Chain A
């Protein structure tokens, strides 16, 4: 066995947290990407800046904002708890929220680029052929933007797998619940004599991130393959 059972649990938790994070972030990311790509409204620059905030803010600050907002004493967290019985702090769902927020800017960027690359004249042609707005969206816009959307998803996944600062600040280190791969590596680093564990976990981390980046790059190339060029 390459890893011990405990270490496999850490990897599985990381995959679960990142998978859920990306799946839940996908709809709002796509909506924002579409809004920013096609919309024309006052305050667009502000929305754009807010979307990019998690990218440039120190992750620990993002984690702190999550803590004071979604913690049990926070304005949102307390209501989630009292009304729905939902707790995010110290739970893997909180880790997924942190990872999702950190991944959002990257996903929006990739998706926005691919939506902008969709030839609007093709959408116009579809309309002349009788397609409603809804039909144009699902049969023309989305399929042509799909490689970029997928690239965004994979990039978001890679970012989620590596997410540390916001996660440890918001949901801390709970083995089996919130101890994702980066947090496990960090915790191991705090203790002398842990280099073997750190090496194994770090190797997995590198492989996962590298794999995700390569896939994302391949998908991006297909997305940019040209208006007349690509085939789905």
Chain B
């Protein structure tokens, strides 16, 4: 690994979360999948939210693949909508009033050039048979795959994944984990991956950041 390559993640954030809770993390990481590993409640999701722009740190900076998304010192804060983060939430967070196809297409406006078409992504994720279904009719694993597809199709420059396997049963977990490996290997995007499961982290991550 060349030592002068731009780090995929250069994060230094601190934020007060309540009267006696604070989240603070500082790390840089090279290419590939970076895992944020720690026990529940350590603030890993908050860190992801700060990288996505959904939460504003009190101090510090957020740089991803060389681009500054947040810098307290200079007062820079790129709005969430322009950060081009592909965020896969722990609970999928699909829009209940759009079908699967509508969910997948929601972010496609932003994508200036499509790496893959909707149909290609659907096949890639094994959800091409589900395009006309409503989110509430999907299983946990199907919903999670749709969530990944939705994030991929929004033309992201990097991916944020918040415990995407946590709510899945064993069979689904293996299936989705293989998908994530494919995404990791074939798309070459920086990925920040939150998990409290050591085995997931060992298998997927090139870099591990411990929290809590």
Contact of A230 among B84, B96, B110 (CB under 8 A): B96
B124 within 8 A of A: no
Interface string of B37-64 (1 = CB under 8 A from A): 0000000000000001110000000000
A31 within 8 A of B: no
Closest Cβ of chain A: how far from B101's Cβ, in Å?
15
Q: Which chain A residues in 208-232 approach chain B with CB under 8 Å?
A: 227-232
**In the complex, are the beta carbons of A125 and B136 less than 8 A apart?**
no
**In the complex, are the beta carbons of A231 and B84 less than 8 A apart?**
no
Q: Hey, which chain B residues are within 8 Å of A197, CB to CB? A: none
**In the complex, are the beta carbons of B154 and A127 less than 8 A apart?**
no
Among B27-35, B87-95, B169-177, B185-193, the stretch in contact with A? B87-95
Q: A144-B97, A229-B96, A231-B97 are in contact. Are A127 and B106 (CB under 8 A)?
A: no
Count: A-B pairs, CB below 8 Å: 65
**In the complex, are the beta carbons of B134 and A129 less than 8 A apart?**
no
Closest Cβ of chain A: how far from B147's Cβ, in Å?
9
A122 within 8 A of B: yes
Find the residue from A122, A144, A229 having the highest chain B CB count within 10 A: A122
Contact of A228 among B83, B96, B155 (CB under 8 A): B96
Q: Hey, which chain A residues are within 8 Å of B110, CB to CB? A: 129-130
B109 within 8 A of A: yes
A140 within 8 A of B: yes
A230 to B95, CA, bound (A): 10
**In the complex, are the beta carbons of B96 and A126 less than 8 A apart?**
no
Interface size range on B against A:
20 to 34
Interface size on A, residues (CB 8 A): 21
Q: Which chain B residues in 142-197 approach chain A with CB under 8 Å?
A: 150-151, 154-155
Q: Which chain B residues in 69-121 approach chain A with CB under 8 Å?
A: 79-87, 89, 93, 95-97, 106-107, 109-110
A131 to B151, CA, bound (A): 13
Interface string of A130-151 (1 = CB under 8 A from B): 1110000001100110000000
A227 to B81, CA, bound (A): 23
A124 within 8 A of B: yes
B135 within 8 A of A: yes
Closest Cβ of chain B: how far from A100's Cβ, in Å?
30
**In the complex, are the beta carbons of B96 and A127 less than 8 A apart?**
no
Q: Hey, which chain A residues are within 8 Å of B107, CB to CB? A: 128-131
**In the complex, are the beta carbons of B136 and A229 less than 8 A apart?**
yes
Contact of B134 among A126, A127, A128, A231 (CB under 8 A): A231
Contact of B80 among A122, A128, A227 (CB under 8 A): A128
Residues of A within 8 A of B (CB): 121-122, 124-132, 139-140, 143-144, 227-232
Among all A-B residue pairs, the 4 with the closest Cβ atoms: A130-B110, A129-B107, A128-B87, A232-B97
